Amino acid sequence: MTLEELMHPAVSVILPVFNRRHLIGRALASVLRQSFSGYELLIIDDGSSDGIETLLLPTVAEHPNWRYLRHRNRGLSAARNIGIQAALGEWVTFLDADDEYLPDHLSLRIAHLRSHPGLDLIHGGVELCGPEESFWVEDAFRPGELIHLSECTIGSTLFGRRSLFIEAGGFPLQSYSAESELMKRLEGRYRVERVDDPTYRYYTGLPDSICTIRKSGGRGIEEGAPE
């Protein structure tokens, strides 16, 4: 990459991580496989205690367009907001540490946005991977009821102008349904569109995901919660 591409990437991919040393390799490999090269990767370590930095730091050093930032544990929304503030790209998108992109994910999304200049943000396009029963999660708007993930806004698929996220104030600092609250604000001020290309591979049913724990009536970390 040229210095200009490093300083002004088209897309900033924000990857928050909390104690996912055993899983993050899949997500990182999927970024490396992208057919679109005009991106930077920001790995935001949300105070992990599993030694993940010993895995990440040598890898980041090999890629000039990758950055690693670490802070005390503040939750998924805060980690995403920190990534947005640090991003250099015109466009910002996300990747959960236990998920992955298909190879054309970034290229198809940026092509769609560039061919529709009036659009400010797109989302959607998910391939669900996991037990079918885990595709049903707690409905953010109807507590105690379940909703299929195909009807949810998956926060990690948001792909929009960085300025949009800044102007909207970023993700609210809540453990569940943060994307729902953000999307209500965005849809009232910007042009938002749902896309269908299933280029984001979303893994469900992990025992320590917030969706699994909420369905069982417990509490847990905030990694990978759809809204």
Residue 18 pLDDT more than 70? yes
| DSSP string for 66-109 | EEEEEES---HHHHHHHHHHH--SSEEEE--TT-EE-TTHHHHH
pTM: 0.89
Residue 208 pLDDT more than 80? no
What integer pLDDT is reported at residue 175 of this predicted model? Answer: 72
HSE of 164, CA atoms in CB hemisphere, 13 A = 23
What integer pLDDT is reported at residue 227 of this predicted model? Answer: 43
pLDDT tier for residue 10 given thresholds of 50, 70 and 90: very high
Residue 41 forms beta bridges with which residues?
13, 66
**Domain spans of the chain?**
3-215
3-215 CATH: 3.90.550.10
pLDDT tier for residue 109 given thresholds of 50, 70 and 90: very high
Of 70-79, 92-101, 131-140, 195-204, minimum mean pLDDT range? 131-140
Residue 225 pLDDT more than 70? no
What integer pLDDT is reported at residue 222 of this predicted model? Answer: 45
pLDDT, tens only, 157-185? 999 999 999 999 999 998 777 888 899 88
pLDDT, tens only, 114-156? 999 999 999 999 999 999 999 998 887 787 889 889 888 899 9
